[in-house]
Amino acid sequence: MTDTTAPLPIARNVEALRATVRDWRRQGFTVSFVPTMGALHEGHLTLVREAGQRADKVVASVFVNPTQFAAHEDLGTYPRREAEDAEMLAGAGCHLLFAPSVQAMYPDGFVTTVTVGGPSRGLETDFRPHFFGGVAVVVAKLLNQVQADVAMFGEKDYQQLRVVTRMARDLDIPTEIVGVATMRDGHGLALSSRNAYLSEAELDIARRLNGVLAEAAIKAAGRRPIAGVERDAYTDLLKAGFERVDYVAVRRADDLGAFPDGVVDAPARILAAAWLGKTRLIDNLPI
């Protein structure tokens, strides 16, 4: 039984993390892992609960990873609230919080990069070229540090999920990568730590993203030409009140490649990124 009222143990460095995991392994426990950047919400807690279904012990990390932010992005203002996060994690059944410092993750002299091709091409990379390099290096490190049996990633960041899955396979990282369905509010808005930046008026507009994508997904599933579906969805997002749309794209679900015949003829995903004020929202749906 997990005592959900006890404070959650926190490991601040790899040695402390590994000592606990080693001890669990000695006792024959399986281990699951949920990487996060903190500012937790119900979406993260769903990952933690799912992790608890899949293994005896759950490790979650909270690390706001500087290498996945560009200089002009929100690294400095990204919400940080460790005590609250720890309490929420404990309540959801997490057994250990790994919360390393930037210095512990990237000590002086750190020079290694990880580049994943395939699914990291296009979409987010066209607008945030630094992003998957940063994600790949930190996730490779975290997976090596925790050495869990299974690790959970939200489908909300669908391209990230495909990139991490490809990387783990290519680098023979022995942790199974599991995607978990996106948690949404009552209006269909995908939960995200960055939703906290939205004003009430922006929130109303943000809640229309999912509807526009759902309509486009139906058209694409009916084999309407993808270019037209993407164009209409793009226009609909602007009409809904989004100030700028980075992309709306229909791609193959597994490797995020384009459909060469211009119609959906295999499992697909529609993905979008759009701006409201200073906030960039992403979402996606299966087709």
Mode of pairing for the β-strands spanning 57-62 and 96-98: parallel
* DSSP secondary structure of 228-283: HHHHHHHHHHHHHT-SEEEEEEEEETTT----TTSS--SSEEEEEEEEETTEEEEE
Under the binding rule (CB under 6 A), the answer on residue 135 touching ligand PAF is yes
Task: Work out how close the CB of 153 gets to ligand PAF at its nearest, in angstroms, rounded to a whole number.
Answer: 6
Q: Cα(109)–Cα(231) distance, rounded to whole angstroms? A: 46
Q: Which is nearer to ligand PAF, 167 or 209 (CB)?
A: 167
Task: Work out how close the CB of 65 gets to ligand PAF at its nearest, in angstroms, rounded to a whole number.
Answer: 4
Q: Which is nearer to ligand PAF, 65 or 284 (CB)?
A: 65
Under the binding rule (CB under 6 A), the answer on residue 287 touching ligand PAF is no
Among 145, 135, 143, which Cα is nearest to 176's? Answer: 143
- Member of 17, 32, 35, 271 binding ligand PAF (CB under 6 A): 35
What are 64's two structure tokens? Answer: 């706001």
Under the binding rule (CB under 6 A), the answer on residue 65 touching ligand PAF is yes
To the nearest 10°, report the CA torsion of 85, 32, 183, 114.
90
- Member of 31, 88, 92, 139 binding ligand PAF (CB under 6 A): 139
Among 115, 111, 122, which Cα is nearest to 167's? Answer: 115
Task: Work out how close the CB of 135 gets to ligand PAF at its nearest, in angstroms, rounded to a whole number.
Answer: 5
Within 168-207, the residues that bind ligand PAF by CB under 6 A are none
Residue 238's identity, in one-letter code, is L
Within 250-279, the residues that bind ligand PAF by CB under 6 A are none
Size of the site for ligand PAF (CB under 6 A): 10
Under the binding rule (CB under 6 A), the answer on residue 157 touching ligand PAF is yes
CA neighbours closer than 13 Å in the CB half-sphere of residue 190 = 24
Three-class DSSP category at 12: coil
Task: Work out how close the CB of 157 gets to ligand PAF at its nearest, in angstroms, rounded to a whole number.
Answer: 5
Q: Which is nearer to ligand PAF, 180 or 189 (CB)?
A: 180
Task: Work out how close the CB of 68 gets to ligand PAF at its nearest, in angstroms, rounded to a whole number.
Answer: 6
Q: Which is nearer to ligand PAF, 141 or 208 (CB)?
A: 141
Binding span for ligand PAF by CB under 6 A among 30-38, 95-103, 114-122, 222-230 = 30-38
Spatial neighbors of 26 by CB under 8 A, at least 6 apart, are: none
Task: Work out how close the CB of 249 gets to ligand PAF at its nearest, in angstroms, rounded to a whole number.
Answer: 20
Q: Cα(81)–Cα(8) distance, rounded to whole angstroms? A: 14
* Residue numbers annotated as active site: 44
- Member of 32, 36, 46, 159 binding ligand PAF (CB under 6 A): 36
DSSP state letter for 184: B
Among 32, 36, 35, 37, which Cα is nearest to 21's? Answer: 32
Q: Which residues contact ligand PAF by CB under 6 A?
A: 35-37, 65, 68, 135, 138-139, 157, 160
